[in-house]
Every structure is written in structure tokens, then in C-alpha cells.
């Protein structure tokens, strides 16, 4: 049976739930470790999805003749 790919948005929402549960601090040590492991896996999957999207944008920009992507106006991230 093929593994169904979970969307970035679904993984991000699940990661937010894990973080909220950990921040509440009302889970056992064992449960905290399980949640932390799940959170690490979700964060890694989200990071991979973002990197893949960035690569696709770069490819599309280069195909359009843009050698470098420019930040959106007002974007303060550097």
C-alpha cells in the first residue's frame, strides 16, 4: 500500500499542535519525548517541503530570464 503524502499545511498544523502540547507542560516525560520526536520529524518534513518549493521557484525564475529573485517590497528578512 502506497504511503499518502501529507500536505505542508497539514504537517505545519500538526507541528503547531505538538508545540502547544509541549508548552502546556501537562504531559508525562515519556509522552513529552514522543511528542518531541514527532515534532522533529514534522519540522524536518516541513523544511524539506519549503526547500523543494524554493528550488521550483528558482527554476521557474531562471526559465523566465530572472537571474536572481528579489524580495517582496517591505520584506525585512535578509
Please give the average per-residue pLDDT across 2-7, as a whole number: 74
Question: Is residue 30 domain-resident?
Answer: yes
Question: Is residue 75 domain-resident?
Answer: no
Question: Is residue 72 domain-resident?
Answer: no
pLDDT at 78 over 80: no
Going by the DSSP 8-state scheme, the letter that residue 4 receives in this structure is P
Q: What is the tally of structural domains in the chain? A: 1
CB 30 within 8 A of CB 20: no
The reported pLDDT for the residue numbered 68 is: 67
Question: Is residue 42 domain-resident?
Answer: yes
Question: Is residue 2 domain-resident?
Answer: no
Express each pLDDT in 24-67 by its tens digit: 999 999 999 999 999 999 999 999 999 999 999 888 888 877 66
Model confidence pTM above 0.85: no
The CATH number of the domain where 17 resides is what?
Answer: 1.10.287.1040
Q: Alpha-carbon distance 76 to 34, whole Å?
A: 36
- Can you give the residue range of the structural domain that contains 16? 8-63
The reported pLDDT for the residue numbered 76 is: 62
Amino acid at each position: 500500500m502506497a504511503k499518502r503524502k501529507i500536505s505542508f499545511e497539514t504537517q505545519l498544523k500538526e507541528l503547531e499542535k505538538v508545540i502547544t502540547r509541549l508548552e502546556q507542560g501537562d504531559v508525562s516525560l515519556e509522552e513529552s519525548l514522543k511528542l518531541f520526536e514527532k515534532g522533529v520529524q514534522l519540522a524536518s518534513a516541513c523544511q524539506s517541503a519549503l526547500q523543494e518549493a524554493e528550488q521550483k521557484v528558482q527554476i521557474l525564475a531562471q526559465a523566465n530570464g530572472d537571474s536572481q529573485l528579489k524580495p517582496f517590497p517591505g520584506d525585512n528578512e535578509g
